[in-house]
Amino acid sequence: MRILSGIQPSGKLHIGNYFGMMKQAVELQKKGEAFLFIADFHSLTTNPDAADLRERVTEVAVDFLACGLDTDKVCFFRQSDVPQVCELTWMLNNVCPVGLLQRAHSYKDKVAKGFEPNNGLFSYPVLMASDILLYQSDLVPVGKDQKQHIEITRDLAIKFNERYGDVFTVPDCFIPESVAVIPGLDGQKMSKSYNNTIPIFGKEKAIRKIVMSIVTDSKGLDDPKDPDTCNVVTLYKLFASEEQVNEMKERYRAGGYGYGHAKQALFEAMQDYFAPMRKRREELLANMDYVHEILRKGAARAGAEAEKTMDKVRKAVGIR
């Protein structure tokens, strides 16, 4: 079974990235042949600054390796190092109905949030389909919000195969329901696009300040509170034991326990959870040649697999 995941270098990695995708990718590397890429082409739809993009690609590479990625088991590479993905995108554009893209929720959501409605943003699902189909992926771990994009990928694979023959593997998606959507500071899905994230790595004082800014209701210290509707408790569940979570819930209901207390407990649990990863990250930053070599080897392997697929595609459509 071949498993594929990708992540955009559009900002510092946050706990939504970690629990929604990174942790799943690290766990799934034990279950099949895994491909993982840094989606720098995708990030151009919302982050066109060149210097910023280069820096963030490096940060994502270091952060992923720090979080437990085993490059003996995973092909880890930069999307743009395999140019065949753009060639395949053009091929798929010619079997993709406009209506399929017009129904994409992600495009409508980003435009509503103020992003420029350009064609890159509109046709994002086609490039994503190329990422998946290029490597003949069987399984794609995604958050619940990305399920529609996998459905679009399946539609395009089926349409292409019906027109040109059996070229692509039709992939399935894997959605870990327990961590499908991680709430951000404002209660919406945690996303760099919404500026509501809590970073995995950074200075302790800065992260604590961010955690303390999580939006809650206006109930005072002595008031009983509902733990089942509080973002702080929802996030605390990711890091704390069941016993610790139940204790926090009891304190909420009893009163005399403020949101500030809960946020401090969340911050401390986060710091403990990510402590080994912070140590590994410092070691990687001191040996960047190793990081770049990992990406180079990954690109060579991914490129070889991509060329196998593109040879089939080109013959099928008549380019060769």
- Pairing relationship of beta strands 74-78 and 139-141 according to DSSP bridges: unpaired
- Residue 268: name the closest of 224, 306, 198, 211 by CA: 211
Catalytic residue of the set 189, 225, 249, 263: 189
Catalytic residue of the set 110, 225, 237, 249: 110
Which residues, other chains included, contact 241 with Cβ-Cβ below 8 Å and sequence gap of 6+? none
Q: Can you name the residues that pair with 78 across neighbouring β-strands?
A: 38
- Residue 3: name the closest of 153, 140, 187 by CA: 140
DSSP 3-state of 287: coil
Active site residue 110: yes
| Packing angle of the helix pair 259-285, 288-317 (nearest 10 deg) | 90
The Cα 229–Cα 317 span in angstroms is 53
Catalytic residue of the set 23, 192, 249, 263: 192
Active site residue 108: no
Active site residue 312: no
Give the helix ranges, DSSP H, for the chain: 15-17, 23-28, 40-43, 50-66, 84-93, 98-102, 105-112, 119-122, 124-134, 147-164, 204-211, 231-239, 242-254, 259-285, 288-317
Tell me which residues are annotated as active site: 110, 189, 192
